[in-house]
Amino acid sequence: MLVIVAPGQGAQTPGFLTPWLEDPAFAARFHWLSTVAGLDLAHYGTEADAETIRDTQIAQPLLVATALVSALHLFPHPGDAFERIGAVAGHSVGEIAAAAGARAITAEQAMVLVRERGKAMAQAAAVTPTGMTAVLGGDRDEVLASIAAAGLTPANDNGPGQVVAAGTMEQLAAFAENPPAKARLRPLSVAGAFHTVHMAPAVSHLEHLAAAVTTHDARTRVISNRDGRVVHEGREVLRRIVGQISSPVRWDLCMETMSDLGVTGILEMPPAGTLTGIAKRALKGVETFSFNGPDQIDEARAFIDKHGEPAGLDLTPTWRVVVSPAKGTFHVGEEIGDTDLVAPGASIGRVASSRDEVSVKALHGGQVVEWLVEDGDLVSPGQPLLRLHPEGSL
């Protein structure tokens, strides 16, 4: 199975777009998304220095536009992608690119959202001097306890030996004076404490905008940063992306879900290297591909051919399907019984695993057409459970 991932802020480097923009088709598409964002992203990706592209308002639209346009070079006919992509995920702002790639939102919607996200996060970061520090190595429990004791937030949990602490500069300074045993601290060149309560004002702004966005159910599995769950319903995908601005990124749980899915290959969109590097350490035996330039297109397509398989979610639009958010044992809810009509938001059952138990809801509701599993069946993340006619479509 193939998973395609999109990197988050910090992956950008000066001049990384130069080889891409030599292709007229890439340049034209990139110019279109730059126009939507209201920024000269071509300039920032080719001529701007590291300090300039560190700016949140520039870095985030630059990364999302790059991921979206380079994806069109891998899949000139976008509909073909869903016969090969088992799941998508994005780290932090990369979730917006993943959502657009899964067709939960459009590319234009993605660019408006990321433009406003970058502005709002920059404004929130300006209120109080804050920052982030990577904690490398050490005992996981001790690291998390030390972060909490310092009043910091584990804003990025990227798996074994890599947690990012975030908070005020005073808190980070105190943390540096009393670091966890056997851990190395590396201050990050970021503009604020992302994915913490300091970003709450940005959440409010994006919630207001997101209310006007029309969404569609994802056409492949979307693995959420919040808890590693597979999310299918478009409105839920968007709601999670907005809330994630002030909540920790649980990339460790995203990788756990990839493992549950049986992933064999991970391809990272440009500028690539960060997420494939994490995967090499955490997902032993899984092949990775860092897609960084147009000269790699043939090699990247061969990688996709080797690992690709459909997610099974590219269904006729007249159907709605409820999917499992996680791996575990599915139990049909007692309240649903033998009913033929499911109310919007009703629980259809639960998925129990060794980690926890998750309620499964039919967010749209509708007429039951077909149960695709039985009570007590083992299910995988994103597996279709129930097929519905949308309420009001009959």
pLDDT at 314 over 90: no
Average predicted confidence (pLDDT) for the chain: 93
318 pLDDT tier (thresholds 50, 70, 90): low
259 is catalytic: no
Q: Three-state SS across 69-138?
A: HHHHHHCCCHHHHHHCCCEEEECCCHHHHHHHHCCCCCHHHHHHHHHHHHHHHHHHHCCCCEEEEEEEEC
pLDDT at 394 over 50: no
Q: What is the pLDDT of residue 286?
A: 97
Q: What is the pLDDT of residue 332?
A: 93
Q: How many other CB atoms sit within 10 Å of the CB of residue 285?
A: 7
DSSP 40: -
d(CA 181, CA 241): 34
d(CA 230, CA 152): 28
Q: What is the pLDDT of residue 317?
A: 52
Q: What is the pLDDT of residue 316?
A: 47
d(CA 23, CA 169): 43
Q: How many other CB atoms sit within 10 Å of the CB of residue 66?
A: 26
pTM of the predicted model, to two decimals?
A: 0.91
Q: What is the pLDDT of residue 191?
A: 80
User: β-pairing, 2-6 with 265-268?
Assistant: parallel
**Greatest pairwise CA separation for the chain in angstroms:** 65
Q: What is the pLDDT of residue 65?
A: 98
Q: What is the pLDDT of residue 392?
A: 46
- Find the mean pLDDT for residues 9-13: 93
State both tokens at 376: 């007590």
pLDDT at 337 over 80: no
- Find the mean pLDDT for residues 184-194: 90
CB 286 within 8 A of CB 266: yes
76 pLDDT tier (thresholds 50, 70, 90): confident
Q: What is the pLDDT of residue 144?
A: 95
d(CA 106, CA 193): 28
- Find the mean pLDDT for residues 15-34: 96
Give per-residue pLDDT as tens, 117-137.
999 999 999 999 999 999 999
Q: What is the pLDDT of residue 313?
A: 67
- Find the mean pLDDT for residues 148-162: 94
Give per-residue pLDDT as tens, 353-391.
988 899 999 988 888 999 999 999 999 999 999 999 876
The lowest-confidence range among 181-190, 278-287, 288-297, 331-340 is: 331-340
SS3 266: strand
Cα distances from 53 to residues 43, 63, 81, 119, in angstroms, run: 10, 10, 30, 14
What is the rounded end-to-end Cα distance, in angstroms, of the chain? Answer: 36
Give per-residue pLDDT as tens, 245-264.
999 999 999 999 999 999 99
74 pLDDT tier (thresholds 50, 70, 90): very high
CB 56 within 8 A of CB 121: yes
Q: What is the per-residue burial (b if ≥16 Cβ within 10 Å, else e) of 325-343?
A: bbbbebebeeebeeeeebe
Question: Cα 135 to chain center, whole Å?
Answer: 22
Q: Of 34, 70, 91, 92, which is the active-site residue?
A: 92
> Burial of 27 by CB count in 10 Å (0-12 exposed, 13-18 middle, 19+ buried)?
middle
Nearest CA to 6 among 251, 341, 325? 251
Nearest CA to 59 among 5, 132, 126, 9? 9
Place of tokens 């998304």: 33
DSSP 19: T
Q: Of 195, 232, 307, 364, which is the active-site residue?
A: 195
Report the percentage of the chain scoring pLDDT > 90: 83
- Find the mean pLDDT for residues 78-92: 89
Give per-residue pLDDT as tens, 42-56.
999 999 999 999 999
81 pLDDT tier (thresholds 50, 70, 90): confident
All residues at 6 or more sequence positions from 50 whose CB lies less than 8 Å from its CB, including other chains: 13, 14
Nearest CA to 324 among 359, 368, 374? 359
195 is catalytic: yes
